[in-house]
A = this chain, B = another copy of it.
Amino acid sequence: MTVTIKDVAKLANVAPSTVSRVIADNPRISEKTKERVREAMDKLGYHPNFIARSLASKSTQTIGLVMPSSANKVFQNPFFPEVIRGLSKGAHDKKYSLHMSTGETEEELYEGVIEMVQSRRVDGIVLLYSRFEDRIVTYLLEKKFPFVVIGKPYKHIEEITHVDNDNYRATKEVTEYLIELGHERIAFVGGNLNYVVTIDRLLGYEKAIRNAGLPYKDEYISHEEFLKEGGQEAITDLLSLDEPPTALVVADDLMALGVLNKLDEMGKVVPDDISVVSFNNVLLTEISKPPLTSVDINIFNLGHEAAKNLIEGIEKPKEPIKRIIIPYEIIKRASCKKIANP
C-alpha cells in the first residue's frame, strides 16, 4: 500500500540502505546513483516515514511547548500567539516542528510534560513562562532533559538556558521616564506574583523610585490577577488614597486596557489626569484609547531565540548553558504626559 524505502530500492536497483543514504544526502554516494534513486522516489511518490525514521535515529525533530494551563486567563494574552510565531520560525528554520502539550489544570499540564518526556515524543521542551516553584522545571532538571525557559527561571539560573528581557532595567527605565515627566506619585500595578517577571518588574520600579529619592509606599503597589475582576478594584483603591498616584506602571498591556477602562469609568482622563505605561507592546496598544506607551519586549524574538537555542542544545549536548537577553524598547504613544501642577 504505502511506498517504502524498499520499493524505491527495488525500482532503482540498489539496496535499501543506499536509498536511506540518498535521503540523508550522504556524500559517499555517487551523484549518478543519487540521481537514479531520486528519480525512483519521484516516480513512486515516495516520502520518508517520520515515525520510522524517529525510531531508528532516536530523534523526533520535534520540540514540545508548555503553555500556562488553558483554564488560566493568561492563556488569552496575545503574548502567546506572538511568541509561538517566533518559536515556529525558529523551529522551522532548523526543520523542527512543534508539539503542544495540552491540559486544563496544573496537574494535567505536569502529567502532559512527563508524558512527552517519558514517551520520547519530543527532543526538547520550551516553557513559555516562568513561575515560582515549578514542578515541571524540577522534573526536567532532574531528568536532564533539554529545555529552555522563556523568562527568568526562579531557581537554578546557572543551570537553565533561558531567554529573557532585562525586565528589571526596562521597568526602571520606564519608571524614570515618568519621573522625568514630573511624576512623583507613581503606582505599580502588577500581575500574578507567581510569575517571576512580575517580581523583576516590581524591583525595577522600586529601584527607580528610590534612586529618585521618592518615597516607596506599599499602598502604591498592587497585584491583581487580570482584567475585569480584580484589576478594577485595584484602581478604585489607588485613586481613593489621600495622595492618589498621578502615574501608573502596569505590568501588561491587556491589564492596562482594563485599567484604562476603569479610569474612564471613574471619569479620569488619560493622560491629562493620570499617565499610564505598560508592557509587551501588543497590537492592542495602538488601538486603545489613548494609544498606550508600552515597552516592546520583542516577543517574537523571545520565541525565536528560545527555539534556536533549544535546538542547538539538543544537537550539541555539550553546549554550555546560556542566558539570552532580548533588547527592549520603550514605544512612546499618547498615554503619558508631563504633570501639570503637582
Give chain A's interface residues, CB within 8 Å of chain B. Answer: 2, 47-52, 54-55, 60, 62, 65, 70, 73, 75-78, 80-82, 84-85, 88-89, 91-92, 97-104, 108, 118-121, 227-228, 254, 257-258, 260-261, 264, 282-284, 286-289
Asked if B119 contacts A47 (CB within 8 A), the reply is: yes
* Identical copies of this chain, number: 2
Subset of 23 A-B contacts with CB under 8 Å = A48-B119, A50-B119, A50-B121, A51-B119, A65-B100, A70-B84, A70-B89, A73-B283, A75-B81, A76-B282, A78-B78, A89-B104, A91-B102, A92-B102, A97-B101, A98-B99, A98-B100, A98-B102, A99-B99, A228-B287, A254-B283, A260-B287, A260-B289
Contacts of A287 in B (CB 8 A): 227-228, 257-258, 260-261
- Contacts A89-B102, A260-B289 given; 5 further ones with Cβ under 8 A? A48-B119, A49-B119, A51-B54, A75-B85, A88-B102
* B70→A85 contact, CB < 8 A: yes
Interface of chain A, helix or strand or loop or mixed? helix
**A80 to chain B: which residues have CB within 8 Å?**
81
- Residue in B60, B88, B257, B283 whose CB lies within 8 Å of A100: B88
CB-nearest residue of chain B to A82: B76
Closest to A119 in B: B50
Complex contact B284–A284 (CB within 8 A): yes
In the bound complex, what is the Cα–Cα distance between A332 and B248 (angstroms)? 31
The CA-CA distance from A102 to B258 in the complex, in Å, is 32
For residue A228, which residues in chain B have a CB less than 8 angstroms away from its CB?
286-287
Contacts of A91 in B (CB 8 A): 102
Complex: A187 Cα to B321 Cα, angstroms: 57
Enumerate chain B residues within 8 angstroms of A70, measured Cβ to Cβ.
84-85, 88-89
Neighbouring B residues of A121 by C-beta, 8 Å = 50-51, 97
Neighbouring B residues of A84 by C-beta, 8 Å: 70, 100
- How far is A75 from B299 in the complex, measured between Cα atoms in Å? 14
| List of B residues within 8 angstroms of A85 by Cβ | 70, 75
Residues in B neighbouring A258, C-beta threshold 8 A: 287
Most interface-central of A62, A73, A98, A102 (chain B CB within 10 A)? A102
Point out the residues of chain B lying under 8 angstroms from A99, CB to CB: 62, 97-100
CA distance A31 to B289 in the complex (A): 66
List the B side residues contacting A65 at CB < 8 Å: 100
Task: Find chain B residues with CB under 8 A from A102 CB.
Answer: 88-89, 91-92, 97-98
- Provide the bound-state CA to CA distance between A254 and B98, in Å: 27
Selected contact of A92 from candidates B2, B103, B282, CB within 8 Å: B103
**Are A51 and B97 in contact, CB atoms less than 8 angstroms apart?**
no
Q: How far is the CB of A158 from chain B (nearest CB, A)?
A: 27
CB distance from A81 to the nearest CB of B (A): 6
Which chain B residues border A2 with CB–CB below 8 Å? 120
